[in-house]
Amino acid sequence: MTTSTENRKRFSIGGLVFVLLGVAVVSLVGVLLHHLSADPQKPLYATKSSQTISIDGKDYAKASAVLGVYPDKATAAEHGYKSNNKDWVQYGPSTHLVLPAHTYVTVTLHVYDSGEALNHAYFGKVVGTVGGTMNIDGTDVTNIPYDQVQHTFTLHGLPTSTQDPLFVNVPLPRVATDDKDNFLPTKDAGTNYKGHTVTFSFLTGGAGEYVWNCEYPCGDGTYRKFGAVMGQLGYMSGKVTVA
Ligand SMILES: [Cu+2]
């Protein structure tokens, strides 16, 4: 009798410990995921303009945002962005953009990195912009050669039927280098001849949460150069909130 009561007590204590451990693991995973998806920088709100633009007979409000793409922190600092990130390639000043809904959004990227080839030429095409073009240093283009790319800005949604689709792909032209990997001067006054200025516009739909990332393999070797920086908020991927 005593033995059986003891056994039952031992069993129930064992069960309690098991449940508590389970709760602890789930909480830890929750905290970790929350931490991983938290914004490493303050969101960048697009600047709203008082102007409108008419597209296919419909008037849209206008808004704009300016960002840089830097090979390292020193280059970011040189061009006015004091980054608290690791010394990796990165977008700045924020990888979380907040854009107004149903608006003609113009994004300007000052880009300062070298590069090589994309895994797939598709990401060398401009997709989802108004007119199907982007502007590089004053010239409109619809694509760039797949082996002249430094990074891409590839904005997309998560599969859902509750928000408007939004897909934009813009390949960023690389800065040429000499045979010792030193950057060569460019013809772009907008970057003080150190990079290229890329401008593109797209229309936002209704409110929603989207993500963007770079599709140029600029990460470490964890998985075919798609490791580390490629999946890190604050570097080569981020969020877009349409509000
Ligand atoms: Cu990249």
Q: What is the pLDDT of residue 12?
A: 77
**Distance (Å) from CA 143 to ligand 1 centroid:** 17
State the distance from the centre of ligand 1 to the C-alpha of 47, rounded, in angstroms: 25
Task: State the pTM of this model.
Answer: 0.86
The pocket of ion ligand 1, defined by CB under 5 A, consists of: 151, 214, 216, 218, 236
Spacing, Cα 50 to ligand 1 middle (Å) = 33
Q: Is 76 helix (H, G, I), strand (E, B) or coil?
A: helix
CA of 217 from ligand 1 middle (Å) equals: 6
Between the CA of 104 and the centroid of ligand 1 the distance, in Å, is 25
For residue 198, how far is its CA from the centre of ligand 1 (angstroms)? 15
CA of 122 to the centre of ligand 1 (A): 15
May I ask the CATH architecture of the domain 40-242? Sandwich (2.60)
* Tokens coding 188: 């772009």
CA of 59 to the centre of ligand 1 (A): 34
CA–centroid distance, residue 214 to ligand 1 (Å): 5
Determine the pLDDT at residue 143. Answer: 98
User: What is the mean pLDDT of each successive set of 10 residues along the chain, which is 243 residues long?
Assistant: 65 77 77 72 96 96 98 96 95 97 98 94 97 98 96 91 94 96 96 98 97 91 81 92 97
> What distance in angstroms lies between residue 190's CA and the mean position of ligand 1's atoms?
21
DSSP string over 24-75: HHHHHHHHHHHHHHS-SS--EEPEEEEEEEEETTEEEEEEEEEEEEESSHHH
CA angle 87, 235, 165 (to 5 degrees): 175
Compute, in angstroms, the gap from residue 51 CA to the centroid of ligand 1: 33
pLDDT for the residue 36: 65
Q: What is the pLDDT of residue 40?
A: 83
Residue spans per domain, the chain: 1-38, 40-242
Residue 17 has a pLDDT of 80
Give the pLDDT of residue 220: 80
Ligand 1 center from residue 63 Cα (angstroms): 25
Rounded to the nearest 5 degrees, what angle is found at the Cα of 109, between the Cα atoms of 104 and 113? 155
Q: What is the distance in A from the centroid of ligand 1 to the CA of 215?
A: 6
pLDDT of residue 73: 96
Computed on alpha carbons and rounded to an integer, the radius of gyration of the chain in Å comes to 23
CA of 114 to the centre of ligand 1 (A): 10
Strands 237-242 and 96-99 come out as: parallel
**Amino acid occupying residue 145:** P
pLDDT at 2: 57
